[in-house]
Amino acid sequence: MQAVILVGGEGTRLRPLTSTVPKPVVPLVDRPFIAYMLEWLARHGIDDVVMSCGFLATAVRNVLGDGSSYGVRLRFIEEPEPRGTAGALKYAEDLLDDRFLMLNGDVLTDIDLTAQIAQHDASGATATLALVPVDDPTNYGLVTLNDDHAVKEFVEKPSADQIDSKLISAGAYVLERAVLDRIPPDRNVSIEREVWPQLIGDGLYGFAADNAYWLDIGTPERYLQGTFDILEGNVVTAVAQELGPGYLSVGERVEVAGRIVPPALVDRGCTIAAGAHVGSLVVLGEGVTVGEGASIERSVVLNGADVGRNCVLRDCIVAAGVRIGEGSTVSGGAVLGEGVTVGARNVLTRGVRVFPQTDLPDGAITF
């Protein structure tokens, strides 16, 4: 079976991580973010994937190749300009079969696609939307169903008195080719606002994935949460197998004079000096250096970063090639972009974002 993944956005909410790297291939634990979706599709027998790209499309193609390493055939199309969710699908029309999946590329999930496809078959649907429950649906578009799973209505950002369901769209759809006939060509079209309302009562169904994991990785906070959930095995991924029952993976040529506390993943070539503490809930990318007495918890530190002596990193994201000087603290959701240099004795917290190649002198920021 076939799938189309929409990855045309610029990932602005995730900057500065996406200032130099397209969102689909931003590293998440030990692989590009979109790799989790490709592996998930492969587990459910989807072997032909079309990536609908926009921003930095060539870089996405260069990282992912032909998809064979993820168990799929991967093809790429590039929108000439942003065309919305339905417009992007229409642009891929010539590559699509009679039935296919359409997926939002921003999501980390383990929804049972096999069961969703089976329900689609049994109901004779034109389109079947995967739905997941959320604790607070007021910031989403609520979807209500009839007893036969047909979609009854959509309620955008419902007030408390409008909530009689907690199901929202998960961005995973099983579609018949007839849906394409409802999309006008060559313009920006929203499938959520312009196509789904046409199909209510005419073949639009919902599949309630009540026990599935689902997270929109759209902000640094959710990026960290997704990382932690992968490390803890809260979402079904290949990483969980690599971590094993000890929730720990340490790559080749890692030198450890300090301590690693699981769950954690330490990639090859890292150095952890005496008295340094790494974990729990930490990812160190390839070739990271952690200085004497440094402490890193609930954080991601990407390839080639250098964390100085007695630094403290908590709940933060450090991109590739960053240098952090002795005695500095990075915490509270702070994000350091690629190639940033932080001098000694800085304090970066409260969600501060430092953009790529910025150079902060010693003691420049201490809030």
- What's the rounded Cα separation, in Å, for the pair 282 and 77? 35
The pairing of strands 151-156 and 141-145 is antiparallel
* Closest listed residue to residue 208, CA positions, set 164, 160, 151: 151
**Catalytic machinery residues:** 157
Tell me the C-alpha to C-alpha distance, in Å, between residue 208 and each of 50, 120, 164.
Answer: 25, 12, 15
Q: What does 90-156 look like in DSSP terms, one character per residue?
A: HHTGGG--SEEEEEETTEEE---HHHHHHHHHHHT-SEEEEEEE-S-GGGSEEEEE-TTSBEEEEEE
Any idea what DSSP says for residue 315? Answer: S
- What's the rounded Cα separation, in Å, for the pair 265 and 361? 31
Contact between 49 and 74 (Cβ < 8 Å): yes
